[in-house]
Structure 1
Amino acid sequence: MATTIHAATLLRHGSDGGPVAGWAVVVSGDRIAAVGPVDDVLGAHPGARVRRWAGTLGPGRVHPGPLPPAATPRERVHALFRLGVTAVLAAQIDEPGLRAVVERSDVAVLADTRPVTLAPGGRADLAVLTDDGRCVATVVAGRLVHRRA
């Protein structure tokens, strides 16, 4: 199982917490293996791939409403990835074709919104956002699914 360290300018542990500098998230498979100071996680995982991002790394976003319109269900899901979304509400996934794409893409389907935190053992759903809220990268269940060029 490949290990990846995601380090960004700032790291926000939860939906409501303030960001801290110099921290990173270690991802192994689809789970968070560790969250800690960059130097500590680099030392503990010397063979890991390291991805450095400009922006604030934090939990992926939960999309509270209907998915963006697009020509195909796949394009609708990819539109979410460009927003840093890693979870949707079950009530919004009412078409069989859309549900199939959501499941194949490993997007989390939630009954309702809830606070999300980055913690060891948790699902590796991450987003890196710029100061103005644009998404730089989205990681769903440990896989990099969007990276802004």
Structure 2
Amino acid sequence: MLTIHTADELRISWDADPLKDGAVAVEGDRVAGTGPLDVLLERFPGARVRSWPGVLGPALVHEGPLPQAPSPRERVHAILKSGAVAVLQEHVDTPELRAAAQRNDVVVLARTRPTAIVAPGRADLAVFDVDGACVATVCAGRLVHRRR
């Protein structure tokens, strides 16, 4: 099902100018389009709409060690809760951590890279509130975290 994620502001990359009432259309694990919400609603009639408070932009790359937690799954989930959907290979140093990352579609990178929302790229999104706390994370098109 096609989902449109919208927020007070959209940033295609974190250094890009904000687009007020911007949105990202997601189909499967791919970005189907970006732009003003009204334009995407017209382009994709019948799409489910998820409205978020804050700024919607590309998900992050977690550059340090994964947070400590009782299990590899919980360590990976902790980075998803922070708005990241990618980790550096050097910090995923056990078979259990690599398996947990793979099961959750978390990208393992040899080195950091810039992030951006690009159609038809992979739908990796994050929403942050005015205090910088992660409100929601979309990893490969799936909503994997939302703050209640």
For the criterion TM > 0.5, the same-fold answer is yes
| Alpha-carbon distance in structure 2 between the residues aligned to 1:18 and 1:84 | 20
Kindly report which structure 2 residues correspond to 1:1-149, keeping only aligned pairs within 5 A, or say none: 2-149=1-148
Q: Work out the CA distance in 2 between the residues paired with 1:109 and 1:25.
A: 24
Contact 1:56 1:129 in 2 (8 A): yes
Contact 1:15 1:115 in 2 (8 A): no
**Could you list the per-position Cα deviations for residues 49-108 of structure 1 after superposition, in whole angstroms to 9, with x for gaps in the alignment?**
100000100000100010000000011011111111111111111110110010000011
Q: Is this contact kept in 1: 2:19–2:36, CA < 8 A?
A: no
TM-score, normalising length from structure 2?
A: 0.97
Partners of 1:56 and 1:64 lie apart in 2 by: 21
Q: Please tell me the residue identity of whatever aligns with 1:65.
A: G
Q: Secondary structure at the match of 2:33?
A: strand
- Uncovered stretches (5+) of structure 2, i.e. residues with no partner: none
Task: Give the % identical residues.
Answer: 57
> Unaligned stretches of 5+ in structure 1?
none
Runs of 4+ in 1 over 4 A off after TM superposition: none
Amino acid at match of 1:70: A
CA–CA separation in structure 2 for the residues paired with 1:17 and 1:112 = 22
| Cα distance in 1, alignment partners of residues 108 and 96 from structure 2 | 15
Could you tell me how far apart the structure 1 residues matched to 2:34 and 2:144 are? 21
**Which AA in structure 1 matches 2:16?**
G
Q: Distance in 2 between matches of 1:62 and 1:134?
A: 15
Q: How many residues align structurally?
A: 148
Kindly state the Cα deviation for residue 31 of structure 1 after the two structures are TM-superposed. 0.5
Alpha-carbon distance in structure 2 between the residues aligned to 1:64 and 1:135: 16
Q: Which amino acid aligns with 2:84?
A: V
**1:77–1:101 contact (8 Å) kept in structure 2:** yes
Within 2, Cα distance between the matches of 1:61 and 1:23?
A: 19
